[in-house]
């Protein structure tokens, strides 16, 4: 009986011990697996590795992730994507993040600078998520940009799934990669690095204290950078310290507590200062290529109905409309469907050859005509000497012309239009025509074809001297010679009078065709009639620190509210302190309707009148 009564107590005791042993055996491996240890130490001046242990194992980075969130925020500010004074509207997703958090509420707006302080100093998860959404529109898109940036920095084993570092599938990094990121923060954005050395700061809605204040106050020369903790990651820390000319950066993953982690990081920094040389040339890391724009594959909307607008707001569709093949055009159909005969093709070719030959002969004819025209001008300018005569009209008895032979122009083609015009002009000259014109026309007729009739010479008329009777020129002694000059003899008892000089230029007579005068029509001034139709109203959807942000807000708003803003024009107006994002060219009714619809979506909107 005694043994029976003692059995229940012993059984209970043994059962409790057994359960305790089983729990220890089950939970101990889990704790060890959840927070493995890793360490990495470098000389920040050169990047030289001073110590490493398990540094390339992919582990949970926890809030060390916020170093990348802040790095991209600094990059976006530098490139004008956003500014420190930009007002960020907090989403429900950002406000619902677990601690540590700033306490943001959904729908409220806060300046970006306060979100950066809260994420860097207090390690606020809601602030980090809000930063990512403000820059990329969603946390998932921001996480993809974080991964792209990590690859550009050389963080070969890091992938991100969120902006705050909470445990998630695929959200992993290494001690080596986080140390490299800390070095880039120090050298790439030194103007913002002082954030990580602050023990407290004003975050807009509250004053926040640093999660790294114990280590900053305990280790000499420490000035950053970031702490991190989750149950899966353990206690993590990337620290940087400077003593003299040396700067050391160390990272620890998997600490058991804040105190043990800080102690281990201090030991690693001491190790680094002991190994690093006093003097060394600083080798700053290269800035990564900008990876703000995500590369997307072209999308072909083959099945999208015409005019369909059933697309997600803010989504960009790129159409691949490149021509892949260039088909040869088909030949023109022949009437009747029959191919042209060979005889027809030969006849067509002969016609083409004849046209080409005629076109080639035209330059030769033009050149020959030009030679004849030059000869006419040369003959017209030849000098003519006339002896003085008495005023009583004595007949000329003898003439002793000097007749040199001149080259004859033999024309083997039909007379040209210019020659025929000159001949016709000589027949139309009356007796009172100037001597210069008559002589010019006579010389022109002398080079006409031999078959052409020669016009009779017209009476000569010298300047200031009138000849009562026509002066008859003696015939040339040689019939084939052309007289160049002619002399007229006068009685010997009369003194010879000096003849008047001939004008320097002789001009061929020509018929001037008078064109009928046309009255100039008065110019008609056409004024462009305004077609605005009362579209002088506009709406404003916000004031932004950079043109990029204003244009981005206009595009996002237009995609969200396409029904009322489809015909409105997007316009960014530069004003003091920033840029206004406006939609212009609207009627009052459409402007007021658009604002009501946007305000229903919690979007800032103000109607602007004419």
**Token pair for residue 7?**
């059995």
- Of 211, 234, 233, nearest in space to 224 by CA: 211
Any catalytic annotation for residue 63? yes
**123 an active-site residue?**
yes
226 is in an annotated binding site: yes
Decide if 416 contacts 515 (C-beta within 8 A): no
Neighbours of 148 (CB within 10 A): 20
**Contact between 404 and 432 (Cβ < 8 Å):** no
What are residue 200's DSSP bridge partners? 209
State the Cα–Cα distance between residues 495 and 375, nearest whole angstrom: 38
Which token pair is 349? 């070719």
Q: b/e string for 507-525 if b means 16 or more Cβ within 10 A? A: ebbeeeeeeeeeeeeeeee
CB neighbour class for 450 (10 Å; exposed up to 12, middle 13-18, buried from 19): exposed
Of 91, 100, 123, 546, which one is the catalytic site residue?
123
Location of structure tokens 């995500």: 294
If you search the block for the tokens 């007729």, which residue do you land on? 445
As a whole number of angstroms, the distance between CA 415 and CA 340 comes to 44
Cα radius of gyration rounded to whole Å, the chain: 53
Beta-carbon contacts of 20 under 8 Å, excluding residues fewer than 6 positions away, are none
Any idea what the Cα angle at residue 455 is, between residues 471 and 468, rounded to 5°?
20
Active site residues: 63, 66, 123
User: Residues forming the annotated binding site for substrate?
Assistant: 226
User: Residues forming the annotated binding site?
Assistant: 226
């Amino acid at each position: 009986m005694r043994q029976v009564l003692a059995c229940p107590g012993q059984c209970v005791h043994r059962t409790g011990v057994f359960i305790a042993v089983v729990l220890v055996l089950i939970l101990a491996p889990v704790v060890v697996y959840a927070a493995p240890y890793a360490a990495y130490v470098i000389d920040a001046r050169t990047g030289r590795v001073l110590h490493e242990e398990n540094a390339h194992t992919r582990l949970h980075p926890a809030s060390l992730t916020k170093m990348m969130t802040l790095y991209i925020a600094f990059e976006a500010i530098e490139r004008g994507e956003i500014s420190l004074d930009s007002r960020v509207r907090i989403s429900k997703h950002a406000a619902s993040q677990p601690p540590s958090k700033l306490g943001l509420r959904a729908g409220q707006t806060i300046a970006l600078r306060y979100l950066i302080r809260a994420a860097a100093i207090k390690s606020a998860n809601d602030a980090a998520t809000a930063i990512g959404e403000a820059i990329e529109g969603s946390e998932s898109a921001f996480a993809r940009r974080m991964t792209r940036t990590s690859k550009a920095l050389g963080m070969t084993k890091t992938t991100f799934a969120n902006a705050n570092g909470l445990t998630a599938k695929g959200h992993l990094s290494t001690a080596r990669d986080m140390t490299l990121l800390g070095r880039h923060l120090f050298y790439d954005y030194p103007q913002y690095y002082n954030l990580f050395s602050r023990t407290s700061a004003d975050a807009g809605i509250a004053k926040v204290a640093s999660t790294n204040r114990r280590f900053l106050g305990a280790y000499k020369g420490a000035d950053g950078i970031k702490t991190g903790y989750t149950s899966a990651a353990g206690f993590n820390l990337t620290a940087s310290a400077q003593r003299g000319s040396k700067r050391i950066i160390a990272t620890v993953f998997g600490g058991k507590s804040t105190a043990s982690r800080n102690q281990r990081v201090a030991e690693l920094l001491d190790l680094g200062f002991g190994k690093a040389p006093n003097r060394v040339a600083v080798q700053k890391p290269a800035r990564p290529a900008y990876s703000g724009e995500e590369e997307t594959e072209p999308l072909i909307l083959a099945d999208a109905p015409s005019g369909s607008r059933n697309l997600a707001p803010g989504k960009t569709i790129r159409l691949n409309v490149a021509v892949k093949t260039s088909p040869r055009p088909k030949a023109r159909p022949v009437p009747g469907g029959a191919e042209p005969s060979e005889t027809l093709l030969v006849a067509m070719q002969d016609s083409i050859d004849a046209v080409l030959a005629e076109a080639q002969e035209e330059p030769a004819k033009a050149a020959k005509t030009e030679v004849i025209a030059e000869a006419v001008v040369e003959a017209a300018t030849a000098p003519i000497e006339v002896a003085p005569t008495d005023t009583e009209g004595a007949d000329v008895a003898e003439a002793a012309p000097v007749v040199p032979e001149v080259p004859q122009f033999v024309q083997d083609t039909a007379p040209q239009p210019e020659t025929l015009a000159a001949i016709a002009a000589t027949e139309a000259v009356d007796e009172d025509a100037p001597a210069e014109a008559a002589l010019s026309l006579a010389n022109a007729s002398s080079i006409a074809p031999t078959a052409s009739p020669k016009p009779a010479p017209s009476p000569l008329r010298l300047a200031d001297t009138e000849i009562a009777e026509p002066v008859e020129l003696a015939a040339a002694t040689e019939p084939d010679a052309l007289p160049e000059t002619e002399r007229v003899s006068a009685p010997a008892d009369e003194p010879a009078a000096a003849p008047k000089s001939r004008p320097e230029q002789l001009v061929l007579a020509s018929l001037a065709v008078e064109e009928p005068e046309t009255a100039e029509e008065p110019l008609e001034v056409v004024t462009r009639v305004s077609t605005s139709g009362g579209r002088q109203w506009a709406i404003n959807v916000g004031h932004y620190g950079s043109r990029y942000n204003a244009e981005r807000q206009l595009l996002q708003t237009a995609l969200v509210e396409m029904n009322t803003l489809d015909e409105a024009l997007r316009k960014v107006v530069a004003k003091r302190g920033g840029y206004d994002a406006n939609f212009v060219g609207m009627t009052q009714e459409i402007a007021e309707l658009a604002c009501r619809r946007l305000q229903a979506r919690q979007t800032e909107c103000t109607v602007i009148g004419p």
